[in-house]
Amino acid sequence: MLRAMQPSRSSSLTRSVLSLSLVATLGACGSEEPAAPELDTAGVVRGGEGLLATALVFDVVDALGELGTLVPTSAVETVAGNIHGSALRVVSTCGTVTLDGTTVSATIQGQGCELPPPEDPEAPPPVWIAPGGATAGSMEIVASRDGEDLVLTLTLDDLLVHDRTLDGTTTLRTADGFEWNVALDLDVTGGAEAVHVSSDATLSPTTTSRTIDGAITVEGTTVTTTYDAREVEWARDACYPDNGALWFDDVAERETRVTFDDESATSGVVTVSFPATVEMPDPVDMSATLPVYGECP
């Protein structure tokens, strides 16, 4: 009679060891935490440069022309005259300001500038305040009208603001004086890399802050990125924004959010967030630092 062959003790042990090994391997793979995404630090910095250029240009023209005092419905000759009068007071003897029709030209030379002494000999010597932080270079402002909009076309030539040099053009447009469309077309140097900044953004200023919304595109040495600024609030006396967010797709084409808070305003440290994905089930928050400029941070 034929008997069924029984498996040997050694072969059973071998299969058991292999099975346990396979289970352990699969279990280890399944329990591994997904790797944290690599932070696109350069992308965050370029976004900071785009926001900075937007704020700096507006601050300079606002300081020169006192935009909050303009009446957008006035004749463009009146608007240009008001900007000219304001710029004369602001630039003082630290440069020149001229008016030709609806064109105001301001050249700023703050280094070595000597202000006239005060009339009262006991008064402290006057201190020149750089308009919007600009200490050298020139800005031409041309006032015009497009329908109901007041349009200010700016030409910047080696305008040095803090430690950034701005070259190119910018168009500011408003219907009410409370909200300005800002279209930049600028070369910006002085940061980590030379960049070109263009924008279709809205800037809403108050006496103490400005809020930036809209698209800002920054072209670096090898990468061009478009950022979506959403309710980015920036106090006029702060180094960096303190509220809102900047969205962009990083170099790995991941949706990335840069969030500003009270700490960001003084330190430049922001929160960079990546949303959950199939490979990374939980959202991830990381920290990054905005670009240094002037005395900030």
What is the model's pLDDT at position 211? 98
What's the structural domain count of the chain?
Answer: 1
Could you tell me if residue 147 is inside a domain? yes
Could you tell me if residue 72 is inside a domain? yes
> Mean pLDDT for each consecutive 10-residue tract of the chain (297 residues)?
44 41 42 73 96 98 97 97 98 97 97 89 91 97 97 98 98 97 98 97 97 98 97 98 97 94 98 84 91 96
Please give the residue range of the domain that contains residue 154. Answer: 40-116+128-237
Q: What is the pTM of this model?
A: 0.86
Could you tell me if residue 279 is inside a domain? no
Could you tell me if residue 49 is inside a domain? yes
What is the model's pLDDT at position 277? 77
Which 3-state string (H, E, C) describes the chain? CCCCCCCCHHHHHHHHHHHHHHHHHHHHHHHCCCCCCCCCHHHHHHHHHHHHHHHHHHHHHHHHHCHHHCCCCCCHHHHHHHHHHHHHHHHCCCEEEEEECCEEEEEEECCCCCCCCCCCCCCCCCCCCCHHHEEEEEEEEEEEEECCEEEEEEEEEEEEECCEEEEEEEEEEECCCCCEEEEEEEEEECCCCCEEEEEEEEEEECCCEEEEEEEEEEECCCCEEEEEEEEEEEECCCCCCCEEEEEEECCCCCEEEEECCHHHHHHCEEEEEECCCCCCCCCEEEEEECCCECCEC
Could you tell me if residue 255 is inside a domain? no
What is the model's pLDDT at position 140? 98
What is the model's pLDDT at position 22? 37
Could you tell me if residue 20 is inside a domain? no
Could you tell me if residue 21 is inside a domain? no
What is the model's pLDDT at position 274? 87
Could you tell me if residue 260 is inside a domain? no
